[in-house]
A = this chain, B = another copy of it.
Amino acid sequence: MAKLGPSIDELISALRCLPGVGPKSAQRMTFHLLERNRDGAQRLVQALSHALDNVKHCQRCRILSETELCSRCNDDRRQQDILCIVEMPSDVLAIEQATQYQGQYFVLSGHLSPLDGIGPDALGIPKLIEWLDKNTIEEVILATNPTIEGEATAHFIGELARTRNIKVSRLAHGIPLGGELEFIDSSTLSHAFSGRESL
């Protein structure tokens, strides 16, 4: 690739740390920032460095938070005895937007993946065990992704909860609303068929 100078090349390369940004997009972003939107670029520098300095994880649920406890963990009006386990902070937002759920969350920040060296410790499982042991939890909702790793993680945590006599549930799998049978993948369809509900 033709070179434009070390600062520009370094910026193109640094932008590739963003998810879904390849060399072409990084180049386009670089030109856009330097050519058309230097104010926006300046704002991005400030927002990013401010967030890097100030955003930590909630000490309780591990979601990204600027305070020691996030707003949800600080909110006494939420139910204390129901705990929803998700992989990513974005899953919390998705559930908050879509449902009326008013319980607690625990963010794993990933899923079990022994080949990548991600074991229970990296997912904060010791902290989760402490939570389950020290508090009265009626139900654990496993809301990990329906992938192989997500299922394995759900299974692992489900066992932890069951040995403590806590009710365990898993998000329902099946045909998405608005989906057409013809275009649903066969494993989802087979799952939905065998798990059919009586009317």
Interface residues of chain A, those whose CB is within 8 Å of chain B, are 1-8, 10-11, 13-15, 17-20, 25, 27-35, 37-38, 40-52, 54-55, 63-67, 70-71, 88-90, 92-93, 96-97, 109
Majority secondary structure, A binding face: helix
Number of copies: 2
Most chain B CB neighbours (cut-off 10 Å) among A20, A43, A45, A93: A45
Report the bound CA distance from A109 to B63 in whole Å: 43
Min Cβ gap A13→B in Å is: 8
17 residue pairs of the A-B complex, CB under 8 angstroms, read: A2-B92, A3-B71, A4-B70, A5-B65, A5-B71, A6-B66, A7-B47, A7-B50, A8-B66, A10-B50, A10-B51, A11-B51, A17-B40, A31-B89, A35-B64, A41-B48, A45-B48
Contact for A31 among B15, B48, B64, B66, CB less than 8 A = B64
Contacts of A4 in B (CB 8 A): 63-65, 70, 89, 93
Which residue of chain B has the shortest Cβ distance to A10 in the bound complex? B47
Report the bound CA distance from A105 to B50 in whole Å: 40
Contact of A64 with B96 in the complex, beta carbons under 8 Å: no
Report the bound CA distance from A51 to B6 in whole Å: 9
Contacts of A88 in B (CB 8 A): 31, 35
Given contact pairs A4-B70, A10-B47, A42-B52, enumerate 15 new A-B contacts (beta carbons under 8 Å): A4-B63, A4-B64, A5-B70, A7-B54, A8-B66, A14-B46, A14-B47, A17-B33, A17-B40, A19-B28, A30-B51, A34-B52, A34-B55, A34-B64, A35-B89
Report the bound CA distance from A18 to B70 in whole Å: 28
Contact for A28 among B2, B27, B90, CB less than 8 A = B90
Contact of B43 with A14 in the complex, beta carbons under 8 Å: yes
Min Cβ gap A66→B in Å is: 4
Contact of B90 with A27 in the complex, beta carbons under 8 Å: yes
Which residue of chain B has the shortest Cβ distance to A17 in the bound complex? B40
